[in-house]
Amino acid sequence: MSDTMHKTDVIIIGAGPVGLFAVFELGLLDMKAHLIDILDRPGGQCAELYPEKPIYDIPGYPEISGQGLTDKLMEQIQPFHPTFHLNQMAESCTKLENGNWQVATDMGTTIEAPVIVIAAGGGSFMPKKMNMEGEDDFAGQSLFYAVRQREVFKGKDLIICGGGDSALDWANTLQPEANSVTLVHRRPDFRAAPDSVNKFMELVDAGKAKLEIGTPEKIIGSNGQVEGLRIKPKDGEAYDVAGSCLLVFYGLTMKLGPIANFGLNLHENLIPVDTEKFETDTPGIFSIGDINWYPGKLKLILSGFHEGALMAQKAFAYVYPDKKLRFQYTTSSTSLQEKLGVNDKAA
Amino acid sequence: MRIFVTDFDGTEHELEALEGWRVMEIIRDYGLPIKAECGGACSCATCHVYVDEEWFGKLRPMEPEEEEMLDEAYDVKDNSRLSCQILMGEELDGLKVTLAPNPD
């Protein structure tokens, strides 16, 4: 088996709090899990949207930050050694002849398992687009929302849009190898780290980069090739700047993405499940957390935890069809305590 | 208390508003199409609204965090605000806002 082909008990799509806690519930029942997430770290919305913001409705924690909760969950599931496939998006889902499912990611990773759990929250975090006419014709050819291969930008006249860390860091990093760099931002202040801003302003002062304050109005170019950008300043007439390559860093938004094509029923972009097992209408595929739907659904982290516990009970039947599930409590069961590494008396 | 919200096709809706609620929550609760992805953490810019000129000056000024987040919003204008940062109170009874475009 190569590095990119894996076999496990359960594939969890989404490494947010609910996906992470599912590892725990599955682990207690001896099921191993692989998690796939498009972000570069676990935590989902808790890590991406509000790492510093306090959450007040996690049982047992009067107040905990998004990152704090993520850290605690990672600690809690550590005994079960989950495997993470980060920076990648679950792209397809296929039923194999042996009855297992195979999930493939956009990075070429494939994972086989009898059970899939979709815990994808609000969907995949994807770059926000510019919302300009003809944008998609340029995308991937001369307009990019991320830097995957730096060579692409060598010798180009770069127009970089945005005022956050990604925009400023890439402007600074690519400046020496690009033919020219123009940064376009809607206001003279930046939310990027002051260090990066200072570094960029030094480039501007030295005549090595340009800064344009205004809002992009139109992409100029044809046949997928960007030739420039029309910019509307706050006061005054729009004007054009020339460039052969556009880099857009407007932050992330959540989209359902390829899960929409997994052949599951959808209810307004959510995945309907039953409330006994949180299984979809496709046997072996479960859905928990914000992305599922059932009558009375509440989008709360704690609801997702509950859903994960019940899901694990049924997942067991797929992973161990010949075994009888015996429900036990972590407070009393020595075998569970051994799994968690907390039983001193067992030895 | 009431607020008036104009949606994408220009229809104005009259919404019952509650003291202490964020305007984003009032709009979401009513069922108008506001994404509000981060749920009010001032972290996503998807609850962007335009505030009617006559009301704009009556709002509490923006914190730097909100101004920064507007960098990720679409079609930002002088009267742009993030509705999760507008707290409803008596002084805003009758507030008029328009949902800003929020493409997929």
Q: Average of pLDDT values for B84-102?
A: 96
Q: What is the pLDDT of residues B26-49, one digit of tens each?
A: 999 999 999 999 989 999 999 999
- The percent of residues in chain A predicted with pLDDT above 70, rounded, is 98
pLDDT of A343 reads 79
pLDDT of A345 reads 64
Which fold would CATH assign to domain A129-250?
Answer: FAD/NAD(P)-binding domain (3.50.50)
Candidates B68, B74, B76; nearest CB to A191: B68
Interface A-B, measured as beta-carbon pairs within 8 A, has a size of 44
Q: What total number of domains does chain B contain?
A: 1
Query: Residue A172 in contact with residue A206, Cβ under 8 Å?
Result: no
* Structure confidence at residue A148 as a pLDDT band (50, 70, 90): confident
Q: Which residue of A has its CA nearest to B104?
A: A255
ipTM: 0.87
pLDDT of B64 reads 93
Considering the domain boundaries, does residue B72 fall inside one?
A: yes
Tell me how long chain B is.
Answer: 104
* Structure confidence at residue A268 as a pLDDT band (50, 70, 90): confident
In what helix (H) or strand (E) does residue B29 lie, and over which residues does it extend?
Answer: helix B23-30
Nearest CA of chain B to the CA of A152: how many Å? 25
Sequence-ordered list of residues with C-beta below 8 angstroms from that of A311, at least 6 positions apart, any chain: A22, A25, A117, A277, A278, A279, A286, A288
Considering the domain boundaries, does residue B35 fall inside one?
A: yes
Q: Given an 8 Å threshold on Cβ–Cβ distance, is B37 in contact with A254? A: yes
Considering the domain boundaries, does residue B57 fall inside one?
A: yes
pLDDT of B27 reads 97
Classify domain A5-125+254-340 at the CATH class level: alpha beta
Q: Average of pLDDT values for B59-75?
A: 94
pLDDT of A4 reads 86
Q: Which domain holds residue B6?
A: 2-99
Residue A250 contacts B where some CB pair is shorter than 8 Å: yes
pLDDT of A149 reads 86
- The percent of residues in chain A predicted with pLDDT above 90, rounded, is 93
Backbone angles phi, psi at A225, to 5 degrees: -105, 115
pLDDT of B102 reads 83
Q: Average of pLDDT values for A285-289?
A: 98
Q: Give ∠ CA B71-B73-B78 in degrees, rounded to 5.
A: 80
Q: Which residue of A has its CA nearest to B64?
A: A191
Distance CA A312, CA A78 (A): 18
How far CA A268 is from CA of A32, A181, A283, in Å, comes to 32, 42, 21
pLDDT of A2 reads 53
Contacts of A254 in chain B (CB under 8 A): 37
pLDDT of A232 reads 95
Q: Given an 8 Å threshold on Cβ–Cβ distance, is A255 in contact with B104? A: yes
Candidates B35, B44, B71; nearest CB to A186: B71
Residue A122 contacts B where some CB pair is shorter than 8 Å: yes
Residue A218 contacts B where some CB pair is shorter than 8 Å: no
Q: What is the pLDDT of residues A82-130, one digit of tens each?
A: 999 999 999 999 999 999 999 999 999 999 999 999 999 999 999 999 9
Contacts of B37 in chain A (CB under 8 A): 49, 122, 253-254
Q: Which residue of A has its CA nearest to B65?
A: A191
Q: What is the pLDDT of residues A38-73, one digit of tens each?
A: 999 999 999 998 898 899 999 999 999 999 999 999
Contacts of A253 in chain B (CB under 8 A): 35, 37, 44, 46
Candidates A50, A191, A255; nearest CB to B71: A191
Candidates A49, A186, A255; nearest CB to B43: A49
Candidates B37, B72, B75; nearest CB to A122: B37
Selection from A282, A279, A275 nearest residue A315 by Cα: A279
Contacts of B75 in chain A (CB under 8 A): 215
Q: Given an 8 Å threshold on Cβ–Cβ distance, is A45 in contact with B38? A: yes
* Structure confidence at residue A228 as a pLDDT band (50, 70, 90): very high
Q: Given an 8 Å threshold on Cβ–Cβ distance, is B72 in contact with A250? A: yes
Residue A215 contacts B where some CB pair is shorter than 8 Å: yes
Q: Given an 8 Å threshold on Cβ–Cβ distance, is B74 in contact with A131? A: yes
Query: In the predicted model, is pLDDT for residue A347 greater than 80?
Result: no
Q: Average of pLDDT values for A15-43?
A: 97
Ranges of each domain in chain A: 5-125+254-340, 129-250
Considering the domain boundaries, does residue B23 fall inside one?
A: yes
Average predicted confidence (pLDDT) for chain A? 95
Considering the domain boundaries, does residue B90 fall inside one?
A: yes
**Under the phi-then-psi rule, with left for phi > 0, alpha for psi from -120 to 50, and beta for the rest, what region is A121?**
left
Contacts of B71 in chain A (CB under 8 A): 162-164, 185-187, 191, 250-251
Q: Given an 8 Å threshold on Cβ–Cβ distance, is B67 in contact with A189? A: yes
Residue A185 contacts B where some CB pair is shorter than 8 Å: yes
- Residue type (1 letter), B74: Y
Contacts of A191 in chain B (CB under 8 A): 68, 71
Angle between helices A301-319 and A17-28 (to 10 degrees): 40
pLDDT of B103 reads 81
